[in-house]
Amino acid sequence: MNCQKTIGKEVTTSGISLHLGSDSCLTFKPAPPDSGVVFVRVDIPGSPRIMASIHNTIGGVVRRTSLGRQEVVIHTIEHVMAALAGLGIDNIIIESNSPEPPAADGSALVFAEMLRDAGLVKQDAPKQEIVLSEPISVRDGNRELTIVPDNCCRATYLFKSDIPVKITQSASLEISEASFLTELAPARTFCFEREVEALKAQGLGKGGSSENVVMIGDDGTPDHPPRLEDEMARHKILDLIGDLYLLGSIPKGRIMAIRSGHDLNAKLIQKISESDQKTRRMRNTKTMEPLNTNDIKRILPHRYPFLLLDRVIEFEEGKMAVGIKNVTVNEEFFQGHFPQEPIMPGMLQIEALAQLAGILLFRNKKEDDSLGFFRSVEKVKFRRTVVPGDQLRLEVNVLRMRGNIAKFSGQAFVDGEVVSEAEFTLAI
């Protein structure tokens, strides 16, 4: 069995952050199996947590990858994520006292060496693997990013710049712990001198210096000797690996990238995430056959017109569940909400999440007459409308179960985009 991994002990690093220029401190802590990668903003009351997931990425952010949940954000996480991916660390808690990690030397090497020295600990749980069934590709003008199914992970990157001088670099390597540490992790962030003023005008690069950025002059000459051959192309692969790890695992395949950056990387992982019907997610945890409507009716007391769950496709006892609600124009609530522009009421989306939570509570209590009632609903966000023809992907996670009280977090997605989310407590 290919086991999940965490680290053996707590380790800390600090320094100035790249874009925000803040004094930043990161503390990495071991985490139990199936926890995933979780950032914790300890500088904010309540120490809110952000799961490192494609569903929490913030769109429209330039020159970096950022996560956000409600009003809490963490920016420029790609080098930290790349270090975790390169070492195969599945479960870890990362406490941060600022909205951006330290820049270190502009590479992932500092993070990777520190985590390796903390000790890599195998856990009694199998790794999640993503196995693609067909090629997936995204394109934007002369930029392209493609992944083709294979038995290993190999990345090839073509870097081209035409202004102010022509620069072409290419790199290709199979991704492994050994190759990552020697051939990718040392590759540093770079910036063209002509870009500096534009970045500063956007409020970026406040912490940039010769210690964490390689500056490329107008003649194409870097202000630091290269650490690696084709270092710019290798750094782009480093960023790509960090971004892909937001899927929870690096998909097995041959990755071919031409001039791609964080925005195109995000489109690729979004497309992979949306292709669940074509992508087998081999969790190798406690698996189950999907529950259909009749199965659900044997567990829940809800009936027409208030049964808002069509299928349960993933389930892990006491931890999480994933369900589907197909929204059709025949839904009874569309008669009044609203006849001229049918929109699914937001609180019915929360009700659907609660019904999925009910599957977690009552699946193994089919002869029990217990019912679950809302005790509280908090941190509710409605991010876009849900209309006829949409398919809601519902995800709930257990936050706490004590006696006859259970607290959950839930998110509803349409086409990979969060449409609503909440935390709610049910009384049994």
Residues 226 and 259 in one domain: yes
Q: What is the pLDDT of residues 25-81, one digit of tens each?
A: 999 999 988 889 999 999 999 899 899 998 889 988 888 999 998 789 999 999 999
Residues 366 and 301 in one domain: yes
Q: Which of 282, 302, 331 is the last residue of a domain?
A: 282
Q: Give a yes or no: residue 384 inside a domain.
A: yes
Nearest residue to 172 (alpha-carbon basis) of 222, 224, 213, 229:
229
Q: Give a yes or no: residue 81 inside a domain.
A: yes
> Residue 41 belongs to a domain with what CATH number?
3.30.230.20
Residues 134 and 116 in one domain: no
Query: pLDDT band at 288, cuts 50/70/90?
Result: low
Q: How does DSSP assign 368-415, residue by residue?
A: -----EEEEEEEEEE-S---TT-EEEEEEEEEEEETTEEEEEEEEEET
Q: Give a yes or no: residue 416 inside a domain.
A: yes
Joined tokens for residue 139: 């394109």
Tally of domains in the chain: 3
Burial of 150 by CB count in 10 Å (0-12 exposed, 13-18 middle, 19+ buried)? Answer: middle
Q: Give a yes or no: residue 400 inside a domain.
A: yes
Q: Among this protein's residues, is 337 annotated catalytic?
A: yes
pLDDT higher than 80, residue 282: no
Q: Give a yes or no: residue 43 inside a domain.
A: yes
Catalytic residue of the set 19, 75, 79, 262? 262
State how far the Cα of 17 lies from the Cα of 15, in Å rounded to an integer.
Answer: 7
Whole-number average pLDDT of the chain: 91
Whole-structure pTM over 0.75, yes or no? no
Query: pLDDT band at 277, cuts 50/70/90?
Result: very low
Residues 115 and 214 in one domain: no
- What is the identity of the amino acid at 193? E
Q: Give a yes or no: residue 287 inside a domain.
A: no
Q: Give a yes or no: residue 315 inside a domain.
A: yes
Q: Give a yes or no: residue 288 inside a domain.
A: no
Residues 134 and 117 in one domain: no
> Residue 199 belongs to a domain with what CATH number?
3.30.1700.10
Residue 262, SS3 per DSSP: helix
pLDDT of residue 1: 60
What is the mean pLDDT of the segment spanning 156-161? 95
Residues 152 and 252 in one domain: yes
Q: Which of 282, 309, 337 is the last residue of a domain?
A: 282
pLDDT higher than 60, residue 279: no
The domain of 122 spans: 3-128
> Residue 354 belongs to a domain with what CATH number?
3.10.129.10
**What DSSP element (H or E) covers 423?**
strand 417-427
Residues 140 and 278 in one domain: yes
Beta strands per DSSP E along 187-291: 190-192, 214-216, 253-258, 279-282
What is the mean pLDDT of the segment spanning 369-380? 91
Q: Which of 282, 309, 331 is the last residue of a domain?
A: 282
Residues 66 and 174 in one domain: no
Angle at 256 (CA atoms; ends 175, 264), nearest 5 degrees = 105
